[in-house]
Structure 1
């Protein structure tokens, strides 16, 4: 009965009352957790201090925000900081928000600041100690073991998979000519199938669980966004009582059971030394990233849970982030006919039969790569990344107390007019070699940077080039959605409330 009375309004009132009573304690704690300058100069000379909306610091600033209001709040905070990085103060730890490439550089290059911040803990039930979240020895050993899985020769073998999936995708587009096409519906199956066959060696479309798996991943992220946007949801007991806890557990079970079954199937193949041999249908089996993990397991370097964590990490990161970039890139091509025309002129030089196009030829599509990079600059798939100080640390001339949270706002760094004049305009020419010579090396960081950069960035660029080249070569894109119609959301991945649509007409050659 008493649980039923603990509705959100009552609980929030109780929280406010509690904070009022511990107000004096809060300021004592704040003093011990305050950021200070290393040289004793005023803190305001190095960073902007963001006042809270209440007397309790920034603790209640984003209470019950939606993903869209979080996105707007961060942009407004960046504007208020007027070109400076800025600080928020929470009850037990400050948060240092970095919006400048110059200060982000020191963090990216640090060998100490590799531990992810508190937001990533909400993803741990899904990804475990995979490459995204793990740290110290585990992260170093996993990174070293998985790096060969992205060698150029391996990427060449993946090219065939990308082409096969691309042909299926073109067939989908053929059925939607002269109609509004919702990119959010057709792009994700393409990227998910790609990552599953390359990471796991399994075609999702060949399995009945494929659609259920896709839906489960989306449901998991919906719950993650719910927790990120409500500070009270960080507490497991509150999430259990008032959040979508049961839905979360159910969807996690679907995802983890699916990956475990696939891993076991591949493990049996590995034990039987089938890799590289011909299967019962006369097809040579391709190398998959999972084979690297199974080889490490055979040598005692990783256990079954570790393999599950890495597989789930690759699928989540390689599926959703690539989908986001492709959706925005296709939209920008539709909105900028001149850019689309230049891309078409470039891909015309490729052999007519896509099976004859090599990785080297895709690498030579310089302008198409500029388009992808400009899309990533304006709409980074991951809008921010986080770090945490595990001990008192000097960062950018400031002494950060233990547990200080660091948020690097990639979205804002890549819209800094000092490095990208007219940042809200889509100008792929920014990334032509001659235009990047004097640019700050950390001004463009859609794949993060430093030792914790994205291990699969070359994989992603190649995958996107294959699809975009095929689409531009066969179809003319027309806009059905305008940028001003979109409401952006700050989640684990950058999203829009609205589905993004384009129109397609068959290109006449």
Structure 2
């Protein structure tokens, strides 16, 4: 025993010295990059704001502090994170098939989403993507239009209960609508979230987003054992129980129903039906189904509802743009109540509005990638292992690509005004081979919901744009709720 303890201590000290040497060598290699002053080991930890609003202000401020080249280095503890925020620089990464692994923050999502198409590493992601891509084919998505219409009508009915001077919390309304939509489209189950109060699932989704964001910024609680002993860790466990029990119950019910029918796939199919059919045919492991369903539930309602909230807020601050959208919708829809595929193809200006909203307020402000080998970026050789922060929020504000980038101007997405713009200047759903698999679903859903709202109401934003402060979590939300007032334009038809 007298010999073992000194050996363990020497081995431990050697390991610490080796890690410190590696860290100092990395700091030396990256010393010429744009970066605020930092310190070994703790990095920028001493100056990093712990709250999501303050952290966002710092990250965005660094982007404006270092405009050329549009990249700068952040140290989250001992780990280097290179932030890129120009179309040219992010293109280098997004077109490459070498750097497809997500950054470390996505591993903090694994307790919730498992090894899904969102969180899995490159070797696992490729076969998943190939398998799941057909489930998002347009021919399948268009079958969901009746669900989009039905739930949008319920949303409109709820909005009718408010008077002209009442202030409506935009996000709370559209979140429940998108939750009902994603439940029915992904799992074939209607949960009636819009017609019930205090939905526990919605609380759990929003809370776990905040928890993961806080944990990402604090390396001291990355360790699972340490994290589980904190108050945040205990709340995290509570959220997981709610989220997993909900989806697990629905999966079991759906599986039993399919067994009884002899796996006859008839009528409108939910994503879960398609996944279970893949399990039955041996294409997918049953353990993967829960992870993919949880991912569909997260990405399919949280990002979409936030995108809708920002779009409504922007239109409520720009009545001239709103009237132009409404004129297009009135012409396209005429006296018809339900949106069809033919209608959607003619809603050109509404699509410009939604894209401009996503430019200014991308639902996901930053995505992470990990360098799997050395890569020249902006003329600098960046070593393997560095985490990249692809800042979509600032890419969309690059003055080299966007005239008056802070101005809300949907006309910039008209075909004649898009000539010459770099393809990676607009990346709200990421880009390249690992882009968002559900982007077409999201845009279709947003178009239908916006159509129903704007045909029936004039929307006025209570808060001016300059007073709304965003905070940086996994999803970009406002610090305080955004409100709108609505004035009825036409009679309401019951769903």
The yes-or-no answer on 1:149 pairing with 2:142 is no
Partner of 1:185: 172
Partner of 1:464: 446
What is the distance in 2 between the residues matched to 1:23 and 1:349? 69
1:255 to 234, 243, 262: 243
Partner of 1:492: 474
Partner of 2:420: 438
- State the shift of 1:484 in Å: 2.4
1:399 to 381, 384, 394: 381
The yes-or-no answer on 1:30 pairing with 2:23 is yes
Partner of 2:60: 75
- Mapped contact 1:96–1:405 kept (Cα < 8 A): yes
Partner of 1:101: 87
- State the shift of 1:487 in Å: 2.1
The yes-or-no answer on 1:197 pairing with 2:184 is yes
Change in 2 beyond 3 A, CA 1:443/1:326: same
Give CA deviations for 1:388-431 in whole Å, capped at 9, x if unaligned: 12344444543333321111000000011111111111000010
- Mapped contact 1:23–1:56 kept (Cα < 8 A): no
- State the shift of 1:140 in Å: 1.2
- State the shift of 1:72 in Å: 0.5
Change in 2 beyond 3 A, CA 1:90/1:194: closer
* 1:102-121 matches, cutoff 5 A: 102-121=88-107
Partner of 2:351: 369
* 1:31-430 matches, cutoff 5 A: 31-34=24-27, 44=32, 47-52=33-38, 54=39, 58-61=43-46, 63=48, 65-84=50-69, 85-89=71-75, 92-178=78-164, 179-205=166-192, 211-271=199-259, 272-273=261-262, 275-277=264-266, 285-352=267-334, 354=336, 357-430=339-412
- Mapped contact 1:26–1:91 kept (Cα < 8 A): no
> Is the partner of 2:333 in helix, strand or coil?
coil
Q: What number of residue pairs does the alignment pair up?
A: 473
> Is the partner of 1:244 in helix, strand or coil?
helix
- State the shift of 1:51 in Å: 2.1
- Mapped contact 1:35–1:401 kept (Cα < 8 A): no
- State the shift of 1:205 in Å: 1.2
The TM-score normalised by the length of structure 1 is 0.87
- Mapped contact 2:463–2:482 kept (Cα < 8 A): yes
- Mapped contact 1:163–1:354 kept (Cα < 8 A): no
What is the distance in 1 between the residues matched to 2:99 and 2:489? 50
> Is the partner of 1:450 in helix, strand or coil?
coil
Change in 2 beyond 3 A, CA 1:209/1:269: farther
Change in 2 beyond 3 A, CA 1:62/1:205: farther
- State the shift of 1:346 in Å: 0.2
Partner of 2:6: none
Moved more, 208-217 or 223-232: 208-217
What is the distance in 2 between the residues matched to 1:318 and 1:90? 30
What is the distance in 1 between the residues matched to 2:326 and 2:278? 44
Moved more, 208-217 or 144-153: 208-217
Give CA deviations for 1:37-56 in whole Å, capped at 9, x if unaligned: 9xxxxx74xx423322x565
Change in 2 beyond 3 A, CA 1:213/1:23: closer
The TM-score normalised by the length of structure 2 is 0.89
Moved more, 326-335 or 480-489: 480-489
- Mapped contact 1:414–1:443 kept (Cα < 8 A): yes
Partner of 1:16: none
What is the distance in 2 between the residues matched to 1:96 and 1:50? 12
- Mapped contact 1:33–1:92 kept (Cα < 8 A): no
Moved more, 493-502 or 214-223: 214-223
What is the distance in 2 between the residues matched to 1:27 and 1:59? 17
Change in 2 beyond 3 A, CA 1:275/1:209: farther
- Unaligned 5+ runs, structure 2: 1-14
- State the shift of 1:121 in Å: 1.3
Give CA deviations for 1:199-230 in whole Å, capped at 9, x if unaligned: 11111218989922222222222322331343
> Is the partner of 2:268 in helix, strand or coil?
coil
> Is the partner of 1:319 in helix, strand or coil?
helix
- Unaligned 5+ runs, structure 1: 1-21, 38-42, 278-284
> Is the partner of 2:487 in helix, strand or coil?
strand
- Mapped contact 2:88–2:424 kept (Cα < 8 A): yes
- State the shift of 1:23 in Å: 11
> Is the partner of 2:192 in helix, strand or coil?
helix
- Mapped contact 2:209–2:475 kept (Cα < 8 A): no
What is the distance in 2 between the residues matched to 1:82 and 1:28? 32
